[in-house]
Amino acid sequence: METKEILKKVRKIEIKTRRLSDHIFGGEYHSTFKGRGMTFSEVRPYQYGDEIRSIDWNVTARYNEPHIKVFEEERELTMMLMVDISGSEFFGTTQQFKRDTATEIAATLAFSAIQNNDKVGLLLFSDQVELYIPPKKGKSHVLRIIRELIEFTPKSKQTNINEALKFLSNVMKKKAIVFLLSDFMDDDYEQTLKIVGRKHDVTGIKVYDKHDEEIPNLGIVPMLDAETNKTQLVNTSSKSIRNNYKANGVRLHDYYKKTFSRSGAGTITTRVDEDYVKKLLGYFKHKGS
């Protein structure tokens, strides 16, 4: 893709998602996430009415009189966008690919964060971490993130959510708001998600196509596996083949929902031909209440 075409796409996404974040998500993001974190401010002498559990026993012993730790609301938050760019994301049977929808959602969230003067980082992954951009503030930084979401070409087409979560756990030492965008055609990431969920505020955003769930009866058709790049003839008129395909989709979806729930993380599920704005708003309102 030529630079001029990339910039045109970036601008188009910026106009659409900036308007959403300014007029819709800014307030919801603020009320949902602001004031959740508390950071250490100072130590001062104990006063009548202070909570006993706030006493700093080391300082108290040193000065031979009670002192307490004072905490204040953490003003600056960090958002990490983890986006699956494996082969299956370049699939769509309606107006756009799953990756296009994920890019729009990620851009909207990023603009909502910088509107509140927070940092935003990006982690693109397949079965390996393809790109990591450390969290920073500012519009130019967000535009770089959008550009990478549009044009980055992964080395691998496979998916491994577990590896991406392990990487995040190693690089993010402070608490962050984490949005994991994927079609979640993967499993075996529960234990790592539990570890990440204990430290960070995690939300999984499943972006999927209607034909991820089931295949129509089209007779014998060639099918390309976007993650292995292999094509094979599939008899879609076979009821057992269609049922097995659907059962696998249901299994992966159940794993995604249950795993995130057990890890104390939230979930949003949106199909590429659905209005993701309503899904995000509903989630923010419920989470902030």
CA–CA dist 205, 152 (Å, integer): 20
Q: Percent helix, strand, coil in the chain (nearest 5)? A: 45, 25, 30
Give the pLDDT band of residue 93 (cuts 50, 70, 90).
Answer: low
Cite the residue boundaries of each domain of the chain with CATH code 3.40.50.410: 3-33+76-288
Query: Would you say 146 and 118 are in contact if contact means Cβ atoms under 8 Å apart?
Result: no
Max distance between CA atoms of the chain, in angstroms, equals 84
Distance (Å, whole) CA 140 – CA 119: 12
Does 208 have pLDDT greater than 60? yes
The β-bridge relationship of strands 220-225 and 129-136 is unpaired
Phi/psi class of residue 70: alpha, beta or left (left: φ > 0; alpha: ψ in -120 to 50)?
Answer: beta
Contact assessment for residue 50 and residue 62, using Cβ atoms and an 8 Å cutoff:
no
Quote the CA–CA distance of 170 and 192 in Å, as a whole number: 11
Residue 114 — pLDDT band, cuts 50, 70, 90? confident
Residue 231 has pLDDT above 60, yes or no: yes
Q: Does residue 189 have a pLDDT over 90? A: yes
Instruction: Give all strands (DSSP E) within 199-239, no chain letters.
Output: 201-208, 220-225, 230-235
pLDDT at 12: 77
Greater confidence (192 vs 220) lies with 192
Among 170-179, 182-191, 279-288, the range scoring the smallest mean pLDDT is: 279-288
Burial 207-217 (b: 16+ CB within 10 A, else e): bbbeebeebee
pLDDT at 70 (0 to 100): 72
Is the pLDDT score of 24 beyond 70? no
pLDDT of 8: 75
Cβ of 169: how many Cβ atoms within 10 Å?
A: 16
The larger pLDDT score, comparing residue 53 to residue 229, is at 53
The answer to whether the predicted template modeling score (pTM) of the entire model surpasses 0.85 is: no
User: Under CATH, what is the fold of the domain 3-33+76-288?
Assistant: Rossmann fold (3.40.50)
CA distances from 254 to 161, 170, 209, 262 (A): 16, 28, 16, 12
Residue with tokens 């494996």: 86
- Ranges 23-37, 69-83, 171-185, 212-226, most confident: 171-185
pLDDT tier for residue 216 given thresholds of 50, 70 and 90: confident
Confidence of residue 223 (pLDDT cuts 50, 70, 90): confident
Q: Give the SS3 label for residue 267.
A: strand
